[in-house]
Amino acid sequence: KLPILELESPRDNQVQRFDVLNGPVVLGRHEACQFQVSSRRLSRLHACVFSHRGQIWLADLHSQNGTVYRGRSLTPGIPVSLPTDGTEASIRLYDREILIRMRA
């Protein structure tokens, strides 16, 4: 069974699941994003989560207000790895907390 990426926006009461092998999951406020977040402070294409060589990665897409993971602002365009063992990761897209989990 393939791993499933689960994204949750508690403030928006939204949970979605994605097969990361189908390509990157883009987070932002644009209608073309796979995971839409309704905050005017977010960039249209804010961040993305993707799979590469068995790892799950998070990258800020040069957003205006930044992406924070583990208390540190990400350098735009430089991906960081996320846990793949089912541990929940919390990221902040300006004023929105997004929870990320890998489900077996």
pLDDT of residue 1: 47
Tokens of 61: 């897409």
Q: Return the SS3 of 63.
A: coil
What's the pTM value of the predicted model, to 2 decimals?
0.93
Non-local CB neighbours of 44 within 8 Å, separated by 6+ positions: 28, 29, 30, 33
pLDDT tens sequence across 41-75: 899 999 999 999 889 999 999 999 999 999 999 99
Query: Which range has the worst mean pLDDT, 2-6, 10-14, 37-41, 65-69?
Result: 2-6
Give the amino acid at 31: E
Pairing assessment for the beta strands 25-28 and 35-36 based on DSSP bridges: parallel
